[in-house]
């Protein structure tokens, strides 16, 4: 009896392991999924722990730098010539969790993420043709974040019937904190060492304004000359006073 329970527990553990580490679905030609190791050696990947990958298309590249830390994330690639690249996460308390990365509705899009992103959850979508999302180093993204280069559906000029809402690139600088439920829409840029307040919708280019807080709908600069630290206020005070 004891042995039976022992066996069924270990079968459950094995099933859980494979569920968490599902293989990459690669439907297409010449797609490259590579790990760049700490010694710069390159290794082809068959699975990425914590990141479920589904590719339908050709000539797409996924580059993951070691060490990486995904948890319950998805990457969906439909179309051709997309690039997804994530730099290493060296801080052991950081990880990218509960996030869907999406590149579909077009070709030649890219999502490039810098070193040490800490993210609780949301959607990062580079869509339409030839759009990119660039996220700098040391960023901290909260939960329910939406970053997307496209509106997903066409808006037309009523006279000319031309599309007026084509996708536009998004750039997020180094050390940017996106608070809970923030949205970053097409064409937006956020400067280094800045914060986006909870519930804000960023729609414009603020790249040259570093060290600011953006808040509201549409987001505007509400404070200048600030910076932030990922630690809690208590931990930061202890660290600053040399008591940590």
Ligand X SMILES: CC(C)(COP(=O)(O)OP(=O)(O)OC[C@H]1O[C@@H](n2cnc3c(N)ncnc32)[C@H](O)[C@@H]1OP(=O)(O)O)[C@@H](O)C(=O)NCCC(=O)NCCS
Confirm or reject binding of residue 179 to ligand X (CB under 6 A). Answer: yes
If you compute the radius of gyration of the chain from its CA atoms, what whole number of angstroms results? 20
Dihedral angle, C-alpha 232, 234, 235, 236, nearest 10 °:
80
- Cβ distance 170 to 186 under 8 Å? yes
Residue 95 found at the interface with ligand X (CB under 6 A): no
Q: Which residue has the tokens 């206020």?
A: 233
Using CB under 6 A as the binding rule, whether residue 118 contacts ligand X is answered as no
Check if the beta carbon of residue 201 is closer than 8 Å to that of residue 218: yes
DSSP 21-83: TPBPEEESSS-EEEEE-TTS-EEE-SBBTTEEEEEESSS-EEEEESS--EESEEEEEESSS-E
Q: Which is nearer to ligand X, 172 or 215 (CB)?
A: 215
Which one of residues 195, 206, 210, 212 is an interface residue with ligand X (CB under 6 A)? 195
Q: Which of 94, 123, 132, 180 binds ligand X (CB under 6 A)?
A: 180
Rounded to the nearest whole angstrom, what is the least distance from the CB of residue 140 to ligand X in the complex? 6
Catalytic residue among 65, 153, 161, 175: 153
Least CB distance to ligand X at residue 179 (A): 3
- Give the residue with the Cβ less far from ligand X, 79 or 114: 114
160: which 2 tokens? 């000319």
Using the rule CB under 6 A, give the single segment among 88-96, 104-112, 161-169, 190-198 that binds ligand X: 190-198
Among 10, 43, 90, 198, binds ligand X (CB under 6 A): 198
Catalytic residue status for 153: yes
Catalytic residues: 153
């Amino acid at each position: 009896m004891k042995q039976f329970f022992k066996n069924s527990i270990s079968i459950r553990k094995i099933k859980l392991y494979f569920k968490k580490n599902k293989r990459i679905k690669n439907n297409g030609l010449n797609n490259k999924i590579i790990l760049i190791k700490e010694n710069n050696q390159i290794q082809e990947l068959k699975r990425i722990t914590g990141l479920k990958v589904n590719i339908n298309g050709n000539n797409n590249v996924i580059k993951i730098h070691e060490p990486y830390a995904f948890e319950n994330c998805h990457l969906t690639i439909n179309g051709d010539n997309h690039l997804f690249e994530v730099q290493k996460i060296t801080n052991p308390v950081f990880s990218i969790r509960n996030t869907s990365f999406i590149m579909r509705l077009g070709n030649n899009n890219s999502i490039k993420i810098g070193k040490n992103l800490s993210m609780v959850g949301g959607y990062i979508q580079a869509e339409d043709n030839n759009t990119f999302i660039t996220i700098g180093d040391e960023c901290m993204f909260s939960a329910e974040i939406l970053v997307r280069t496209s509106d997903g559906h066409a808006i037309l000029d009523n006279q000319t019937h031309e599309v007026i809402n084509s996708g536009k690139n998004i750039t997020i600088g180094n050390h940017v904190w996106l608070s809970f439920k923030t949205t970053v829409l097409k064409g937006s840029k956020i400067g280094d060492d800045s914060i986006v307040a909870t519930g804000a919708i960023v729609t414009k280019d603020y790249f040259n304004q570093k060290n600011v807080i953006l808040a509201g709908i549409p987001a505007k600069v509400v404070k200048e000359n600030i910076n932030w630290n990922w630690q809690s206020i208590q931990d930061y005070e202890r660290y600053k006073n040399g008591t940590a």
